Structure 1
């Protein structure tokens, strides 16, 4: 499709653009401040839930109502906020079976809860896999708001199975559905098998193991043959939780929660003779608790076993007759392992301000409590009067002066030890140039930062093999930025950085653009009203990605970031595939725009936009491509259509076109489809725009392929 220019739209822009680095080849309440991401030496943050004598939440307290003591000494609170987070529900048209995923992401949505879901597949039996999936599916589908953020992490290191922070429930559920427990067989059963399989006379006076529950008579009991693997799994789980807590420490102004779904660690850290790694694991537990308390991260431990914790006993084939219960008992050993595993969960939860849900067949109430505790609370921050980095535990006592109220807060934290970490070296772009500290912090933040309001759209199109060309449109509001006036223009300098993280957690550096703004007064007025747009492009192979965009203004006074989940199809696979759907409008062309890279300049009549709400006097334009890879198919027709459907299911606009495969001249793929929709006859309301394609080839799948976009007309 050839590019067509909207007429009658003047653009008063005077700006210069410097490409500093190219892409490498191949609703909260009004009083709730946004969360931030930064690390400050010795800064302590504690959240507190306050209830009255009837258990009702108290939300009208001020800073003057609180008192914080550390090791009994009053502290000067320098940061205070009241957090009251709603649960936003996804928008679903009446005719749709499920909510329609937004194709635009923003950092200005209502603030929500922040969860890291840790799936401890190393300490969950395979038979409990359905329990885990069912419980977490209920949590995501019923208690997770569109304003919440969650990540999914596996303790076994299955990075391809996890999910970066997102509010996309489909991606979270997909990560949960990939869960499969792989816990080692219990120590009791392993020892019992060793006893049953022993040659005559063996173990009569041999070494002993922790399967022996009677210290006065340890002879004749073999050691756990899987002790080494059991210790390694325990270290892996604890180390991962520690690193996650350290990573989340930089998120300020919010309660951060780790949902640890696990059957617990049954490694006996008190039996140092039979368990060679007991001391290491005990210290690792302390380090994990220390990291969580220091970062104000609450751990909620959820045991999926419920009340059927002894179903492993079904596997027991009987203990040899020459082994007395005082020497070894399968039941006693299983009970001991259950006690140890539940204690490990309770320690992590109780010491970090969370709770452990054990011996429960239904985790619904536990999830409800987690949501309550992460929705309404107070956040207090201070720099402790004792600034020594001594690694000691310091008690915390949060009190309120109003009589009759109860405060729930964590009991203390472990101070950092040793010298403060040195400043990290500056992150470099693809060509070796350094990014500013503000842009680096914004790009590395696990959550969107709203210092500069941003909205982002991305669409993948077929590119140079084997990659796809991903068109990017980033729009930002300038009303909060300061401009210096010089020679009749208003000046600022913006650093715009794009990056991506693939499904294995590998960071792929993207483009870095330095935009020098020199705006005439009338252009600045338009930009403050309509925003400012940057168009760019990245190339990515097929796969699942999280795109990240960050913007910092001159001097790093303000910065913002936004996250975008994108699945890049394999456009060269056999069959039919489809690009994203890019939109623009006549009015959208008035937004000041710079185009360091614009892969759609020859296909859209205006710059790709993130706006999805349009006036009735506007004209909406779209562009998509369909790729048909059917070997040996005779000449045939290909159908493409656009429909605009109201919330009640009525089709209020429709366009249908057909193309011949002969137009491709034997090449595979590449049906470009562009269309413009005048909106003057469309009543105000919410609509679903659907772009669809279907091949008439005999060898093709007759099911059409399409994408839906929610738009609004006002």
Structure 2
């Protein structure tokens, strides 16, 4: 299940569509469609956007700016005249200006929320919402500081987020990547935050040297050093953004060796030179890059909170500069929160022997300043802030959230004279005294087409590296298009194609998993019709990532779907697609992306559900549906899975459920079940009397019944199930919310 399903296969998809005949009469059809699942993703017939030639007409450059007062509080109410923008030292006219203050109460949802457990992208989020990334550098986090990070995360999640906010929560180790909407996603992220662990093995060890020492030894001491006029070896000139220092007495290599033998401060490992810390830095930068990729295209200011002990500003790590550039292009500000807080002592100090106080002081300065230079520069270059020297990490994170809700969008036309890849230095100032502006410091004029091409090249490169590994399958998997990969990783529910999704959990499978069917419905009104009225058809790409919250396991499905309706008419209604997964018990999140290969538009939705433990008396997810289908082998009708809990108040509503874990003394059933449909006030409007559930020929305990809906008023209802095993006395109850529309007037 963990591998993509690439083999060409044929499966049956049920379409519940309404077709309009040439005479205008509506005819409801239930059609069984044979759908061919292809192995590859292509761009279809979409024409790639043309790359504009520079210096032709260029779109406005948009810069988002945050303004704070002397106390660090965000400042609202400024106007265009309060700002000045310059590029390469030359003033620029501000062509567009927008001010945002999202601190007020969120607006009510414009579309009523559908009853759980249905997920949909049709609902519109509140207008006053923000996008955040919480990225924990657990690779570089000392285990002793994990509790501080967990407390800071819990405070930000409780106080720093508001209804409607979109969030990515991730760790640099790759153990966690979870998207959420507030407030419904807060509980899951709190559970993930509570399990954050530090993975750095060097913290508090008496046999460790600092990353800064290792970096300087490998990068500079190996090439020799000059002795300055003070008698101290002068370190080579620092790289841009890197602090400089002189080591008293000897070169750094000798300093570490002396410490090794004299045990003045700490005892390094064998050998005493552990090598460069680039892999840890690279994992963090790559995680930042993935978050930036996921949020590119989302309008407004996006804030990435990086909880880290910092990383070196290593010039060999060229990807850091590239990521900073992509942050600037996407208007994503990085806030680096130094989780070390107020460093009062050197964690690696050894009490054996008299300490060299001068060396201890220098090492502490290096540990606090030099080892964090990379994260500080990354924050400042993207218009964010490096927050250091405070033990109130949680409060600082909350203030970042408040600051990110008050910002200004300034637009201006880039002046001619430079090529699209040349660096342009940018400066935003505010004319009122006592105020500070945070904005990105520059940019390059890459076009949208160039950015898209670069994204797809990076995705293809990553797929090629995975395909060349020894563990890779014999047939390399083609990469997803960039827009689908971006939607799959991000929290935003794109609504160009309306979607609904719902999970049904059934019987136990080997490996202590349960068979789970994810039903996805696609609004055909948003799809291209490549066959016209005589034979409607379309071509779709489907991508699903099913993530288990508690284990981190991910199961994926990537498929091409060719839909051929096989009949005349202009298609309307919803196309239903079912996919099966074997999942362990726990909280699960399914990210679903559907892309129209001809139009290039896509829809995205996230379905959250719980897989129950396969123990004791248990009831499957009830199937509520207005439709059935009859197998060809003459068996009784079966329910059609739908991804909705909203139905017309007419005809029949079918209810199907199965009971597991029941005792069967003497091979006879001891199960009884009662079903009721209740209105909002609790009044029972339909009832199926309590009666026994007899086993089928294959020994299953299934109840299949129906309720007439005619005459019921429009509104919210609840279907209540009660199942009792008389042999053991166990009772299981379930309540399924649903809504009826178009019914009789309420009494």
Question: TM-score normalized by structure 2?
Answer: 0.65
1:373 aligns with 2:414: no
Q: CA offset at residue 395 of structure 1?
A: 1.9
Equivalent residue in structure 2 for 1:325, among 357, 369, 372 = 357
1:409 aligns with 2:409: no
Q: Please tell me whether the aligned partners of residues 261 and 304 of structure 1 are also in contact (alpha carbons under 8 angstroms).
A: yes
- What is the correspondence of 1:329-478 to structure 2 with a 5 Å cutoff? 329=360, 333-334=363-364, 336-341=366-371, 343-358=373-388, 359-361=390-392, 363-364=394-395, 366-374=397-405, 377-378=408-409, 388=419, 390=421, 393-397=423-427, 408-413=438-443, 421=454, 440=484, 444=488, 446=490, 447-462=492-507, 469-477=515-523
Aligned equivalents of 1:629, 1:126: Cα separation in 2: 46
Equivalent residue in structure 1 for 2:76, among 57, 61, 72 = 57
Aligned equivalents of 1:431, 1:532: Cα separation in 2: 34
Aligned equivalents of 1:296, 1:595: Cα separation in 2: 54
Q: Please tell me whether the aligned partners of residues 694 and 704 of structure 1 are also in contact (alpha carbons under 8 angstroms).
A: yes
Q: Kindly report the root-mean-square deviation, in angstroms, between the aligned alpha carbons of the 2 structures.
A: 5.7
SS in 2 for 1:12: strand
Aligned equivalents of 2:137, 2:302: Cα separation in 1: 19
1:109 aligns with 2:147: no
Equivalent residue, structure 2, for 1:259: 305
Measured against aligned partners, the alpha-carbon deviations of 1:208-260 in whole angstroms (never above 9, x if no partner) come to 999x9852356532374386377156424433344325523643424333221
Equivalent residue, structure 1, for 2:344: 310
Distance verdict in 2 for CA 1:334–1:324, change over 3 Å: closer
1:133 aligns with 2:150: yes
Structure 1: gaps (5+ residues): 25-37, 92-98, 194-206, 270-277
Aligned equivalents of 2:455, 2:139: Cα separation in 1: 34
Measured against aligned partners, the alpha-carbon deviations of 1:526-582 in whole angstroms (never above 9, x if no partner) come to x3xxx4232333344437754344444462253323233455557xx5434443333
Equivalent residue in structure 1 for 2:590, among 547, 552, 575 = 547
Distance verdict in 2 for CA 1:518–1:385, change over 3 Å: farther
Aligned equivalents of 1:39, 1:350: Cα separation in 2: 34
Distance verdict in 2 for CA 1:695–1:89, change over 3 Å: farther
Distance verdict in 2 for CA 1:244–1:22, change over 3 Å: closer
SS in 2 for 1:333: helix
Aligned pairs, how many?
627
SS in 1 for 2:327: helix
Aligned equivalents of 2:178, 2:494: Cα separation in 1: 19
1:499 aligns with 2:544: yes
Aligned equivalents of 2:554, 2:352: Cα separation in 1: 50
SS in 2 for 1:583: strand
Q: Please tell me whether the aligned partners of residues 155 and 394 of structure 2 are also in contact (alpha carbons under 8 angstroms).
A: no
Aligned equivalents of 1:178, 1:55: Cα separation in 2: 32
Aligned equivalents of 1:677, 1:13: Cα separation in 2: 22
Aligned equivalents of 2:204, 2:246: Cα separation in 1: 12
Aligned equivalents of 2:654, 2:150: Cα separation in 1: 42
SS in 1 for 2:259: coil
Equivalent residue, structure 2, for 1:228: 274
Q: CA offset at residue 21 of structure 1?
A: 0.6
Equivalent residue in structure 1 for 2:606, among 541, 546, 563 = 563
Distance verdict in 2 for CA 1:541–1:150, change over 3 Å: same
SS in 1 for 2:125: coil
Aligned equivalents of 2:527, 2:123: Cα separation in 1: 16
SS in 2 for 1:244: helix
SS in 1 for 2:575: strand
Distance verdict in 2 for CA 1:56–1:576, change over 3 Å: same
Equivalent residue, structure 2, for 1:31: none
1:169 aligns with 2:202: no
Aligned equivalents of 1:179, 1:401: Cα separation in 2: 44
Aligned equivalents of 2:316, 2:32: Cα separation in 1: 58
Measured against aligned partners, the alpha-carbon deviations of 1:441-461 in whole angstroms (never above 9, x if no partner) come to 686563432222222223233
